[in-house]
């Protein structure tokens, strides 16, 4: 891994989609840097350009103009194959819909990015995948298929898959969009824990409830950054603890009835 402190440097990025005669200016001159070890939330209304920016940062799409450096590599100058390698080796992706293969175990899903890693840095795929699943607290679920896991567990498998290549950067587009509030806090607690271990995380959310766990908030409007502020993040682990305590108290309050019924 490169020693540079800056993981992402985006300079005057523009993205224009041509739709017949009309043009959609999805990004209109975005400047944006992320240092190693940051946890940044990108916010903004629907259509403000969040996914467009994430797709460019993730090497899934090219900007119309401007430049983008990932670990000091100018991404928009790479060929398609070089880009695929960079994407595979330096970036871990987490999506709203988990994107796990249905007829494939948690372990095999987690191994997947290693299959495509042409550098062959990691030799023992299943061992690396197992370690990655342990890291997200799923060491006892390696043989489960996605439909044998809860939503939060499925998203944790997706996070394990994102981490298995030991990437410079984890990108998550609405990672809690399909989760209930308790599971959302659980997943955010995991992201915070990974961030404390040094993983750089960039996530998109439109929920203040999620963004408050990030160390910095960037807000887009009409393809421009209108706000970029550091914040002291709330602790998701603490919130989760309180949430679970409240639930067990609620259940405890109901328990005498069932005890009497017995």
Ligand X SMILES: Nc1ncnc2c1ncn2[C@@H]1O[C@H](COP(=O)(O)OP(=O)(O)OP(=O)(O)O)[C@@H](O)[C@H]1O
Considering only 13, 32, 36, 51, the residue that binds ligand X (CB under 6 A) is 51
| Eight-class DSSP state of 146 | G
- Within 8 A by CB and 6+ apart from 132, the residues are 110, 160, 161, 163, 164
Q: Does 51 bind Mg ion (CB under 5 A)?
A: yes
Min dist. Cβ of residue 67 to ligand X (A): 19
User: Which residues ranging from 73 to 112 are in contact with ligand X (CB under 6 A)?
Assistant: none
Q: How many angstroms separate the Cα of 97 from the Cα of each of 108, 172, 184?
A: 18, 11, 13
Min dist. Cβ of residue 40 to Mg ion (A): 16
For 73, counting Cβ atoms within 10 Å of its Cβ (0-12 exposed, 13-18 middle, 19+ buried), the class is middle
**In terms of CB distance, is 44 or 58 closer to ligand X?**
44
**In terms of CB distance, is 48 or 89 closer to ligand X?**
48
Min dist. Cβ of residue 98 to ligand X (A): 17
Considering only 1, 24, 226, 245, the residue that binds ligand X (CB under 6 A) is 24
Q: How many angstroms separate the Cα of 49 from the Cα of each of 204, 222, 236?
A: 11, 7, 27
Phi-psi region of 35 (alpha: psi -120 to 50; beta: other; left: phi over 0): beta
Q: Does 96 bind Mg ion (CB under 5 A)?
A: no
Point out which residues bind ligand X (CB under 6 A).
Answer: 17, 19, 24, 26, 44, 46-52, 206
């Amino acid at each position: 891994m490169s020693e540079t402190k800056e993981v992402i440097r985006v300079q005057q990025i523009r993205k224009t989609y041509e739709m017949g005669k009309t043009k959609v200016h999805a990004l209109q001159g975005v400047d944006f840097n992320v240092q190693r070890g940051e946890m940044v939330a990108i916010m903004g209304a629907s259509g403000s350009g969040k996914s467009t920016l994430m797709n460019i940062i993730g090497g899934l799409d090219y900007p119309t103009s401007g430049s983008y450096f990932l670990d000091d590599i100018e991404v928009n100058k790479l060929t398609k194959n070089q880009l695929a390698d960079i994407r595979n080796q330096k970036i871990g992706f987490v999506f709203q819909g988990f994107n796990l293969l249905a007829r494939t175990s948690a372990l095999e899903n987690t191994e997947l990015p290693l299959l495509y890693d042409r550098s062959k840095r990691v030799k023992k795929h299943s061992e690396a995948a197992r370690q990655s699943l342990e890291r997200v607290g799923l060491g006892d679920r390696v043989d489960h298929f996605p439909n044998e896991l809860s939503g939060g567990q499925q998203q944790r498998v997706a996070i394990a898959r994102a981490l298995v290549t030991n990437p410079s950067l984890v990108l998550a587009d609405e990672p809690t969009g399909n989760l209930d509030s308790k599971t959302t806090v659980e997943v955010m607690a995991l992201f915070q824990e990974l961030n404390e271990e040094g993983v750089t995380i960039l996530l998109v959310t439109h929920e203040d409830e999620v963004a408050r766990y990030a160390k910095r908030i960037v807000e887009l409007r009409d393809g421009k950054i209108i706000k970029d502020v550091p914040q002291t993040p709330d602790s998701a682990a603490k919130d989760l603890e309180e949430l679970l305590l409240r639930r067990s108290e609620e259940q405890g309050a109901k328990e005498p009835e069932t005890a009497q019924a017995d």
